[in-house]
Structure 1
Amino acid sequence: MDRTANAVWKGNLKEGKGTLDTQSGALKGTPYSFKMRFEDESGKSGTNPEELIAAAHAGCFAMQLSHVLAENGTPATELDAKAVVTLVPGTGITGSALTLVGKVPGIDAAKFQELAEQAKAGCPVSKALGAIKVSLDAKLG
């Protein structure tokens, strides 16, 4: 199974601009630039590679955990996962911090934590991010 995205970049690093398109159409002509990546913390002017990695990580982890919880006989009613990907200019991406609030009837906090850690380890995006620190703060809500 392959998934595709296309990036078109015009110009140099600091003044150039690009657009991103994805196979699904979720991104279509989505702008990105140096400013959007390193200067505009609001994210309102477009996207950047780190934001896209964070979205992929949060989504993958939530799906993986939903599977692990269902296999345990304790399916979630809601999983609210967030990933914060840290980029240190000049160094690179140094980490992805997952936070999770789960609504899971019939499970205690210790078992929930155990299964969340299992899902973090089994998540394909977590595996792909093996060169950086991936942390998890999971709680029932």
Structure 2
Amino acid sequence: MPTRRSTPRPLPPAKKQAARFALQREADRTATAEDYVELIADLLREEGEARAVDVARRMGVSQATVTATVGRLQRDGLVETKPYRGLFLTAEGQTMATAAKARHDLVVRFLIAVGLDAETAEEDAEGLEHHASDKALAAFARFLAEREG
């Protein structure tokens, strides 16, 4: 892909670069929790229940992976399980799901506004939504407000 810059950018100071990588590792860890709670909220809204088998099918993972992840989400206070009733979000889980959905929708709208087709925007938003900083998200929102305003 062509770039406007003809000379490579110098490396940032080591401490600053390490902090950037640490932020990305934290975003990776948080991404799984956000994806799960967002999907559980969607299933509860659309189907009235969120079962582990449905989460596994939609995430493209095994039920064993869902069981392990849900166990972690329970320990983190985001998800509750009830025997023979499936998965439910705690208030904290619902708050996370709502925020994740809003970020996802914002990123999709931004990507479409800059020229991507809707399908690609949806696919790309799955990764970008977890890694964009609050500053970047605010810039996306300002761009959209100016464009739509």
TM-score, normalised by the number of residues in structure 1 = 0.30
Per residue, is there more strand in 1 or in 2? 1
Higher helix share: 2
The structure showing larger relative contact order (alpha-carbon pairs under 8 Å, at least 6 residues apart) is 2
